[in-house]
C-alpha cells in the first residue's frame, strides 16, 4: 500500500564531511515546500571533538537509526551527499526495509568491488593525503574531487574560519580509513527494490563519482541518474540548483511504493 497523497514525506538528509547539515541542506529543504518533514542530520563523526577511535560507517548507520526511531519513523526517505551518501548506502545494506527510497548525491564511496585501475590510482592519492598539514590536506582533497583544470566553484579559504572547520581534516581522514576496510554488502543492495536517484556533477572527477554512478547503476534494480552540467562535488546540485533537485526527489518519493503497517 502506498503512502496517502496528503501525508508528508519523511526524509533524513545526511551531509558530506565538510559543511554542517544545516548549511548543506538549508536551501534544499526550503525548496521542498509543504508536505515534507525533513531532518538534516549531522554526521556522527563530528559528535565529539575527535572521531571515535573505532569509527566506521556503522557509527553513522546507528545514528540514522537513533534519529528515525526517536521520531517514530519505521520507514523514511534517505538522502546522502558524499560521506553521507556512503553512509546511506551502508544503512540500506543493513536495513533495507527502512528506506522508502535512496537519494544519492555523489556518494564518496560505494564498496570495494573491483574498481578500474584509474579509480584505484585515485584512491591511492587520497591515502597519500594523510601526512599533510590541515591546510594542505584540504586543498589537495578538494582538487582530487573535480576534473583536472576545474577551478570555478571551488571553495576559497581565507580570513577567519568557522569553528567547525578545524574538525574537518580528522573527520575526512576517518572516512577514508573506514572506506578501506568496510564491507559493504553488494548483494543486499542488489535486493533493494525501492527507487534510487543519483545526482552527478559533470565536472566532478569521473574516475571517482562517475565510476561510482556507473557501478551502482548495475546494482540497484530501479536506478535513476541525473547529470548536472557545470556542477561538481564542491559546487553540488543540491546547493547550486536546489529547486531542480527538490523536484527530482519529490518525484522519486511520489513513485516509491511503501508498505504500510
Query: pLDDT, tens digit, for every residue of 18-40?
Result: 999 999 999 999 999 999 999 99
Residue 113 binned pLDDT confidence (cut-offs 50, 70, 90): confident
Average pLDDT over residues 224-250: 98
10 Å CB burial of residue 99 (0-12, 13-18, 19+) is buried
Give how far the C-alpha of residue 142 lies from the chain's centroid of Cα atoms, to the nearest Å. 16
pLDDT at 114: 86
E strands, the chain, are: 9-14, 36-40, 76-82, 99-107, 196-201, 223-228
What distance in Å separates the CA atoms of residue 58 and residue 65, rounded to the nearest whole number? 10
Work out the burial of residue 237: count CB atoms within 10 Å of its CB; fewer than 13 is exposed, 13-18 middle, 19 or more buried: buried
Render pLDDT for 35-66 as a digit per residue (tens, 0 to 9). 999 999 999 999 999 999 999 999 999 999 99
- The yes/no answer on whether domain 9-255 falls in CATH 3.40.50.720 is no
Mean pLDDT over 228-242 rounds to 98
Instruction: Spell out the residues 6+ positions from residue 69 whose beta carbon is closer than 8 angstroms to its own.
Output: none
Q: How far apart are CA 113 and CA 104, in angstroms?
A: 18
Digit-coded pLDDT (tens) for 129-147: 988 998 899 999 999 999 9
- To the nearest 10°, report the CA torsion of 180, 39, 101, 58: 30
Distance between CA atoms of residues 203 and 228, nearest Å: 9
Mean pLDDT of 79-91: 98
* Nearest-angstrom CA–CA distance, 219 and 190: 5
Q: Which of 99, 95, 97, 96 lies closest to 80 in space, CA to CA?
A: 99
Q: What's the whole-number mean pLDDT along residues 190-199?
A: 97
Closest of 30, 95, 105 to residue 68, by C-alpha: 95
If pLDDT is split at 50, 70 and 90, which confidence band does 155 have?
Answer: confident
Average pLDDT over every residue of 188-194: 96
pLDDT for residue 260 is more than 70: no
User: What DSSP string describes 107-122?
Assistant: ES----S---HHHHHH
Q: Is 22 exposed, middle or buried (0-12, 13-18, 19+ CB in 10 A)?
A: exposed
Is residue 104 classed exposed, middle or buried when 0-12, 13-18 and 19+ CB atoms within 10 A define those classes?
buried
Q: What is the pLDDT of residue 259?
A: 53
| For range 235-250, the mean pLDDT | 98
Identify the CA nearest to 14 among candidates 63, 69, 48, 53.
63
Longest dimension (CA), the chain: 54
Domain coordinates in residue numbering, the chain: 9-255
Mean pLDDT, residues 200-223: 97
pLDDT of residue 6: 56
Question: What number is the average pLDDT over the span 155-183?
Answer: 90
Amino acid at each position: 500500500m502506498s503512502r496517502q497523497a496528503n501525508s508528508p514525506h519523511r526524509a533524513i538528509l545526511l551531509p558530506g564531511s565538510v559543511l554542517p547539515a544545516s548549511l548543506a541542506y538549508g536551501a534544499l529543504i526550503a525548496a521542498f515546500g509543504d508536505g515534507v518533514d525533513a531532518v538534516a542530520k549531522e554526521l556522527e563523526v563530528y559528535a565529539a571533538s575527535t572521531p571515535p577511535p573505532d569509527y566506521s560507517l556503522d557509527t553513522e548507520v546507528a545514528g540514522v537509526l537513533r534519529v528515525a526511531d526517536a521520531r517514530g519513523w519505521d520507514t523514511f526517505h534517505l538522502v546522502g551527499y558524499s560521506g553521507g551518501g556512503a553512509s546511506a548506502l551502508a544503512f540500506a545494506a543493513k536495513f533495507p526495509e527502512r528506506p522508502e527510497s535512496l537519494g544519492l548525491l555523489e556518494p564518496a564511496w560505494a564498496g570495494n568491488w573491483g574498481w578500474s585501475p584509474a579509480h584505484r590510482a585515485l584512491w591511492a592519492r587520497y591515502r597519500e593525503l594523510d601526512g599533510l598539514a590541515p591546510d594542505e590536506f584540504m586543498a589537495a582533497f578538494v582538487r582530487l574531487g573535480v576534473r583536472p583544470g576545474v577551478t570555478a566553484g571551488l571553495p576559497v579559504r581565507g580570513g577567519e574560519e568557522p569553528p567547525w572547520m578545524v574538525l574537518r581534516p580528522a573527520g575526512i581522514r576517518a572516512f577514508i580509513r573506514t572506506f578501506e576496510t568496510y564491507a559493504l554488502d553488494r548483494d543486499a543492495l542488489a535486493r533493494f527494490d525501492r527507487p534510487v536517484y543519483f545526482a552527478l556533477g559533470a565536472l566532478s572527477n569521473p574516475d571517482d563519482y562517475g565510476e561510482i554512478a556507473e557501478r551502482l547503476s548495475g546494482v540497484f534494480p530501479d536506478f535513476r541518474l541525473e547529470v548536472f552540467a557545470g556542477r561538481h562535488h564542491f559546487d553540488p546540485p543540491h546547493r547550486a540548483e536546489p529547486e531542480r533537485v527538490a523536484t527530482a526527489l519529490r518525484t522519486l518519493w511520489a513513485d516509491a511504493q511503501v508498505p504500510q503497517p
